[in-house]
Every structure is written in C-alpha cells, then in structure tokens.
C-alpha cells in the first residue's frame, strides 16, 4: 500500500488527470442538464490532454524547438504527445460546438435543458 501511494505521488500529474477525467466522464454520463453534460465533456477531454501531455514530459529537458542547430535528441522532450494533444483539442472544439448547437435548438423547441424531460416531450409528438 505505501508503495502504491508513493507511485501515485510520483505520477502526480497523471493522478490529477485521471481524477479530472473521472469527474468529467460521470458528469457527461449522469447529469440530466445538457449544459452540465457539455461541461463534463470538456472536463473529460481536458483530463485526457493533461494525461497525454504528462506522457511526453521528460524531467529537465527543453521544449522540442531546435535552437542553434543543436539537434541532440537527449536535450528535448518527446514531441509526439504535444502533437496528439493539438489534434485532440481541435476534435474537442468541434464536438463541443456541435453539442452546443444541438442544445440551442432543443432549448428553442422545448424550453428546458433536462434531457429526460426533452425526451418525454419529444416522444409525445408525432414525427
């Protein structure tokens, strides 16, 4: 058990990231309010990006921008996760915009943000 805690403490960055991921995931799954769901989605994604960013970090090294023509790989951190985070952020912006637009339309139509209530109302109308 002490070893477990010690490992968690060493990986404090990932620990924080997975806690944020878990909170976001649960909000996205369980909240009824659509806006809270969207906030949960963004929490979840932020947790993921923190986790990914932590994977690229190497203690005491520089950002991977080669200055003075010194391309020694042992001087720079891992550039892969940075690139993946960039891709992930764009994806997250896109889905957030889509979900917000859906929420706008649903609110205009049903005047509520509660997904269960909206589902009930929608089920009553004929298509």
Partner 1 sequence: MEFVRNFPFLTIVFSLTCGVFCAVTRGKTAKRLCVCWLTLTFAMSLSVLIYTLRTDGSFIYRMGKWNAPWGNEIRVGPLEALMATAFSGVMVLSLSGGMSHIFADCEEGKVNIYFTMAALLTSSLFALIYTNDLFTAYVFVEINTIASCALVMLKSSGRTLVATTRYLIMSLLGSGLFLLGVVILYGITGELLMESIAEKVQDIFSTGEYSLPLTVVIGLMSVGLAVKSALFPFHSWLPDAHGSATASSSAILSGLVLKGYIIVLIKIFYRVFGLRVIVAERVSNFLFVYGILAMICGSVAALRQVDLKRMLAYSSIAQVGYIYVGLGMHSEAGMVAACVQILAHAITKPMLFCSAGGFMDVSGGQKSMAAITGAGRRDKLAGAAFTVGAMSMIGIPFFAGFATKLALAQGAVGSDKIRMTIALAAIVISTVLNAVYYVPVIFNIFSGTEGSEKAPRPKVGYVFAMGTFMVLNVAFGLFTQQITDVVRRGLQLFGM
Partner 2 sequence: MKNKGALSRLWSFAEYGSFREEEFTLSPSDERHIDTDTPENRWLTTVQNSERSVGARAASWFSRRGVEIFQRLYRVAAVFICFTLIGVLLAVVAFLPPFGGADNPAVNEVPERYVAGAVEETGATNAVAGMISAYRGFDTLGEAHVLFVAACSVMALLRIDGPARRHGCLPDPEMTGEDMDFEPNSDLILRKAAKILVPLSFIFGLYVILNGTSSPGGGFSGGALMGAGVILNSVAFGFSRTERFFGERVYHIVKTACLTVYALLMAYFIYMGANGIYDHVWLGVPGGIVSGGLILPINIAVGFEVACTMYCFYALFRKGGL
List of residues contacting partner 1 (CB under 8 A): 21, 24-25, 28-29, 34, 37, 41, 44-45, 48, 51-52, 55, 80-81, 84, 87-88, 91, 94-95, 98-99, 102-103, 105-106, 109-110, 115, 118-119, 121-123, 125, 127
Site for partner 2 in 67-96 (CB under 8 A): 67, 69, 71-74, 76, 78-83, 86-87, 89-91, 93-95
**Least distance CB 18 / partner 2 (angstroms):** 4
Q: How many CB atoms lie within 10 A of CB 37?
A: 19
109 within 8 A of 124, measured Cβ to Cβ: no
Rounded to whole angstroms, the Cα distance separating 52 from 81 reads 6
Nearest alpha-carbon partner for 106 in 96, 123, 118? 118
For residue 82, the partner it binds in partner 1, partner 2, none, with Cβ less than 5 to 8 A by kind, is: partner 2
Question: Cα dihedral angle (45, 46, 47, 48), rounded to 10 degrees?
Answer: 50
């Amino acid at each position: 058990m002490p070893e477990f805690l010690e490992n968690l403490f060493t990986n404090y960055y990932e620990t924080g990231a997975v806690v944020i991921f878990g909170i976001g995931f649960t909000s996205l799954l369980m909240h009824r309010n659509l806006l809270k769901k969207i906030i949960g989605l963004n929490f979840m994604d932020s947790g993921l990006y923190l986790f990914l960013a932590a994977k690229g970090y190497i203690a005491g090294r520089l950002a991977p921008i080669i200055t003075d023509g010194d391309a020694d790989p042992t001087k720079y951190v891992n550039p892969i996760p940075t690139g993946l985070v960039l891709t992930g952020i764009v994806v997250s912006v896109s889905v957030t915009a889509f979900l917000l637009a859906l929420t706008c339309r649903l609110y205009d139509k049903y005047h509520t943000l509660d997904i269960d209530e909206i589902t009930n109302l929608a089920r009553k109308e004929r298509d």
